[in-house]
Amino acid sequence: MTTVPKHSPVFSSFVLEGLELRNRVVRAGCFEGMSQGGMVTEDLIEHHRQVAAGGVGMTTLSYCSVSEDGRAFSHELWMRPKILSGLSRFTSAVHDAGAAASIQLGHCGFFASPSVIGMRPLGASPKFCLFRLSYCREMTEDDIEEKTNDFVHAATLARQAGFDAVEIHAGHGYLLSQFISPWTNRRKDHYGGPLENRVRFPAEVVRRVRAAVGADYPILVKMNQRDGMRGGLELDEAVQIAQTFEAAGASALVPSCGFTASTPFYMLRGRRPVKEMVQAQNGFFYKLGLSLFGWIMVQRYPFEPLFLVEGARQIRDKVRIPVGYVGGVRSITEMERLIAEGFAFVQLGRPTIRDPKFVNRLESGEIAASDCDQCNRCVASMSADGVTCALND
Ligand SMILES: Cc1cc2nc3c(=O)[nH]c(=O)nc-3n(C[C@H](O)[C@H](O)[C@H](O)COP(=O)(O)O)c2cc1C
């Protein structure tokens, strides 16, 4: 047994737009790979029921596409009335286990899978996607308006289903991040060029979602500090983007990093399980491409505890709304430090995949840190039978 300081601020409650969380620990969106046919399955509900019962204040149902054309996988949710009852069962199960439920809403943009969506992917500007071997179509103003409405409808449906919060995905090289990033946005109209233009569509999404869900509903925005490649977003612009999201009506920010279609392990750090990723793929060409070029396409970034803290601090100090910290949190000592220095909450990904009871075990003093070793084989598992920790095999 280890000793947890009594009345640790990590386990104090926290109020976000009227939503009271029992503690400062939130499960980060981690694609579960448990939504075959785009439906809410019992496995998906059970996965989050266990994470909720394991002690987090709020769990996040990971990436759900706001429309059918925003999907990267066939076993991924997309928001539509048909899944309302499944989503409602999801939120009831999480609430019964004592936690709040958030849902991450986004769109893959140029790295959507053409074979899954049955059309050419949409993007900020024409761009070849090495992971999909596809070339996207530049979005028109009508497309931008349609996707903005899709975010609004998705958030409205989420609220109807009993979610306590939505998390808009504006990072990791997803569609909104593709507009923000100079690496993917080469537009010549008022959505391209200077930062105020590149952030116009993402900010409008936040503004319109805020108008639709009302003033008292938590909207988290996950955004990038850096994209991780030459010509991508850097921290100085990210600080201004954070302020723009604040002005547009975001309740809280979660500054992450990386670009799924270019620097996929930048947001994770640690080992690259390329062999396991190849084994988990169904698509022949994707399997072939990954096995031939995987070691080049998937770069290596060494893991360090709290690997995003410097940039997160700079963003936190330039906005008035709460900022949550994500990226390499593994121990109670780190969590205490983060809360003490002014982060409102911490988000945990891999430690809760490793052990859904992680937070309860920290609180009881049974353990002081996660034994997740960043092997990242959980990333391969989400494309096979659903996300799981390989250390449990
Ligand atoms: C298996 C897996 C799936 C992930 N899927 C998502 C996702 O759907 N959306 C997202 O924003 N981040 C996703 N992430 C990134 C996490 O949310 C988080 O930013 C990252 O894992 C760093 O936090 P950690 O060190 O606590 O794991 C995923 C991470 C893992 C390990």
Protein residue with least CA distance to atom 7, ligand 1: 30
| C-alpha 188 – ligand 1 centre gap (Å) | 33
Protein residue with least CA distance to atom 9, ligand 1: 29
Q: Tell me the C-alpha to C-alpha distance, in Å, between residue 372 and each of 299, 324, 331, 375.
A: 20, 21, 11, 8
Helix orientation angle between 141-160 and 200-213, rounded to the nearest 10 degrees: 30
Protein residue with least CA distance to atom 28, ligand 1: 30
Which of 63, 174, 191, 301 is catalytic? The answer is 174
Residue of 26, 27, 30, 169 to mutate, ligand 1, most atoms within 8 A of C-beta: 30
- Confidence (pLDDT) at 1: 58
**Longest distance between any two alpha carbons in the chain, whole Å:** 60
| C-alpha 202 – ligand 1 centre gap (Å) | 21
How far apart are alpha carbons 298 and 261 in whole angstroms?
9
Which one-letter amino acid corresponds to residue 136?
C
- pLDDT tens-place string over residues 289-338: 666 666 667 788 999 999 999 999 999 999 999 999 999 999 999 999 99
Whole-model pTM: value is: 0.96
Q: What is the pLDDT along the chain (393 residues), one digit of tens a residue?
A: 555 555 799 999 999 999 999 999 999 999 999 999 999 999 999 999 999 999 999 999 999 999 999 999 999 999 999 999 999 999 999 999 999 999 999 999 999 999 999 999 999 999 998 878 889 999 999 999 999 999 999 999 999 999 999 999 999 999 999 999 999 999 999 999 999 999 999 999 999 999 999 999 999 999 999 999 999 999 999 999 999 999 999 999 999 999 999 998 999 999 988 888 877 766 665 666 666 666 667 788 999 999 999 999 999 999 999 999 999 999 999 999 999 999 999 999 999 999 999 999 999 999 999 999 999 999 999 888 899 999 887
Write the CB contacts of 366 (distance below 8 Å, at least 6 apart in sequence). 1, 2
- Confidence (pLDDT) at 287: 62
Residues with a CB atom less than 6 Å from ligand 1: 28-31, 62-63, 104, 169, 172, 222, 256, 267-268, 326-329, 348-351, 378-379, 382, 387
How far apart are alpha carbons 136 and 332 in whole angstroms?
44
| C-alpha 378 – ligand 1 centre gap (Å) | 10
Token digits of residue 283:
């698509």
Please measure the distance between the N-terminal and C-terminal CA atoms of the chain and give it in whole angstroms. Answer: 25
Kindly give the number of the ligand 1 atom that is closest to the alpha carbon of 256: 19
Domains, the chain? 9-392 (3.20.20.70)
174 included as an active-site residue: yes
Residue of 220, 267, 385 to mutate, ligand 1, most atoms within 8 A of C-beta: 267
How far apart are alpha carbons 244 and 199 in whole angstroms?
8
Specify whether the CB–CB gap between 183 and 227 falls below 8 A.
yes
Q: Which residue has the tokens 């991508």?
A: 232
